[in-house]
Chains A and B, each alone.
Chain A
Amino acid sequence: MTDYLWLVVLGMGAVTYLPRMLPVVLLNNVKLHPRVNSFLRFIPFAALSALIFPGVLQSTGSVESAAAGSLVAVVLALLRMNIMVVVLGGIAGVMAWEMLAA
């Protein structure tokens, strides 16, 4: 491997690992202000929401099929289905739309 590619891959690895590792290691034994704790407990919901939308619209062949798959997934999740059912339902929704629209 050339020096350039080594540098790129190892550099990418390092700058990806550090943000993953430093907080969970350094904050592990630290007591925080309740409001900071509250902020950190809201992170999963905020991050997941930002990851889902609008990214989901570009996840399939078309915005329409992505919307169809998302709608199926939301309905199944509202019906308290198991997570695998929600995932498979979302995939089936996209497939059905793409086959019907083709």
Chain B
Amino acid sequence: MAVRTDKSTAGSRSEGGASTARLTAADGLKAGIPIAAGYIPIAIAFGVLAKSAGIPNHVTVIMSLAVFAGASQFAGVTLISSGAAAWEIIFTTFIINLRHLLMSASLSRRIERGRLRRWIPLLAFGITDETFSVASFRKEPLISPEFVLALNFLAFAAWNAGTWAGIFLAKGLPEIISDSMGIALYAMFIGLLVPSARKSKPVLLVSLAAVIIHSFIHWFPLFTGLSSGWGIIISTLAAAAAGAVIYPRGVDDD
């Protein structure tokens, strides 16, 4: 893919305001670096877990290539090694990843519908919590497909490289390193969310609502049977719906 490295990269970094510069593939790779750094230790842990659970190496490799979703892959190998039925594993995966339905719908409002639109089905394969967040929190009103493709590609490459490292080096990272790296993607989420919540009162209120609802679902005994997949879906739906009711004109409605 031809990568433009003109001054539009600098333009898209402009403080605060909506820039008109088109996001390039190079911007996407750059934006993907924190995701890649966060994925590698998790993918290594996944490879190590799959190996120790007795999953054949090629199954683990194909799973990272074909599924590309962290939580459900961990659940998948655990369920396979416990001898769960295929439909049970597939259904669990479906519930865990159903939240991407909401993210994909949200992203459909921002993706540019130019000549690269035929790439959107491929781009959709790479939607994860992290790639979605980094793309959505761009200040540019429209996000170019090549930006998302490059961002997703780097995340995908890191996830698969980490899986290989975990399987074939078959050694986890030292505990203090893997423990400390566990917070990397959460810190990235915090780094994305806090500046927006600080600038917009609707965003702050919706964020607090989601945290409160999710905490309630997580700790209130009535909901203990609910999987974490449902917990995230319900709190996201409820908080975003409350936001839309109170602020019908959206994020900047203050």
Contact = CB atoms under 8 A, between A and B. Distances in A.
Nearest to A59: B182
A54 B159 CA distance: 24
A8 B129 CA distance: 23
Interface of A: 1, 4-5, 7-13, 15-17, 19-30, 32, 34-56, 59-61, 65-66, 69-70, 73-74, 76-78, 80-81, 83-84, 86-87, 89-95, 98-99
Interface-central residue, A83, A84, A99, by most chain B CB under 10 Å? A83
Given A11-B90, A34-B249, A50 B187 contact: no
A40 B244 CA distance: 8
Given A20-B127, A37-B109, A43-B106, A90 B187 contact: yes
A19 B104 contact: yes
A5 B59 contact: yes
Contact of A69 (B99, B183, B228): B183
Interface of B: 33-34, 37-38, 56, 58-59, 62-63, 66-69, 72-73, 76, 80, 86-87, 89-91, 93-94, 97-109, 111, 113, 117, 120-121, 123-125, 127, 129, 132-133, 136-137, 175-176, 179-184, 186-198, 202-203, 206-211, 213-215, 218-219, 228, 231-232, 235-237, 239-241, 243-245, 247-251, 253
A82 to B, nearest CB: 8
A12 B182 CA distance: 24
